Copies of this chain bind each other. A is one copy, B any other.
Amino acid sequence: MTVLKRPVIVVNFKTYIEASGPKAIALAKTCESVAGDTGVPIAVAPPMADLASVAQAVKIPVLSQHMDDVKPGSTTGHIPLESVVGCGAVGTLLNHSERRMRIADIGSLVGRCKESGLSTIICTNDIGVTRACASLEPDFVAIEPPELIGGDVSVTTANPAIVKDSVDVARKVCPNVGVLCGAGVKNGVDVAKAAELGTDGVLLASGVAKASDQRKVLLDLASGLGK
């Protein structure tokens, strides 16, 4: 059973300087504050080096950005599951577009995370890979339809089928899988639209991390899931 509620807003800090070191803790606290004020669940994925310090600083769910399918011990410079657990994180992103993973490792880690009670969010890039990853039965897949990446097209303005088809494909092979919209989300209207199309929330990064007023952006995003 995943510790991540649905719907949820997952904020990936990537390795932005604006979200690293002391600023990682500050942003995590802002997320925690907005989650508390709005009642909308927010989870954070800080830079790898800040994982333990952020996990100690806040009570909202903290996720690793990556995990290596290795054992603890003689694996210098890697991120084993035990390291993620040991520092107080409750789950992990897997296969982010900036850190693609081998299918054998993803499959192994989803199984190991389940046994350890860690939540898994597998990032996917097209319908076929979404279907394949959902069939591994993670807690979530975070879909990033190519049509929505990096441009001005948002989930609100795009053809609704782009998101809806991914949701359908994922749920068909794994009825209980959560689906996050991982691209094309910039504001509360987009978040609401993503939810309307059947997703369980959003995964976003620069929109929050690089905002001049991070709190304001988070409040707007949360309004899209507000009751």
Q: Report which A residues bind B (CB closer than 8 A).
A: 12, 14-17, 20-24, 45, 47-54, 56, 64-66, 70, 72-80, 82-89, 93, 95-107, 110-111, 125-126, 128-129, 131-133, 135-137, 173, 205-206
Contacts and interface: CB of A to CB of B under 8 A. Distances in A.
B78 A98 contact: yes
A166 to B, nearest CB: 13
A97 B76 CA distance: 8
Contact of A52 (B49, B80, B102): B49
B95 A103 contact: yes
B136 A132 contact: yes
Contact of A88 (B21, B54, B65, B106): B21
Contacts of A22: 86
A8 B106 CA distance: 30
A165 B215 CA distance: 51
- Listed residue (A45, A133, A206) with the most chain B CB atoms within 10 angstroms of its CB: A133
Q: How many copies of the shown chain assemble into the complex?
A: 4
B77 A48 contact: yes
A86 B52 contact: no
24 contacts: A14-B73, A14-B76, A15-B72, A15-B74, A16-B73, A21-B52, A48-B77, A49-B64, A49-B83, A49-B86, A49-B87, A49-B89, A50-B51, A52-B54, A53-B87, A76-B98, A77-B93, A101-B103, A102-B102, A103-B133, A107-B132, A131-B136, A131-B173, A132-B132
Given A20-B86, A21-B52, A48-B49, 9 more contacts: A17-B86, A20-B83, A48-B48, A48-B79, A77-B96, A95-B103, A103-B129, A104-B129, A110-B128
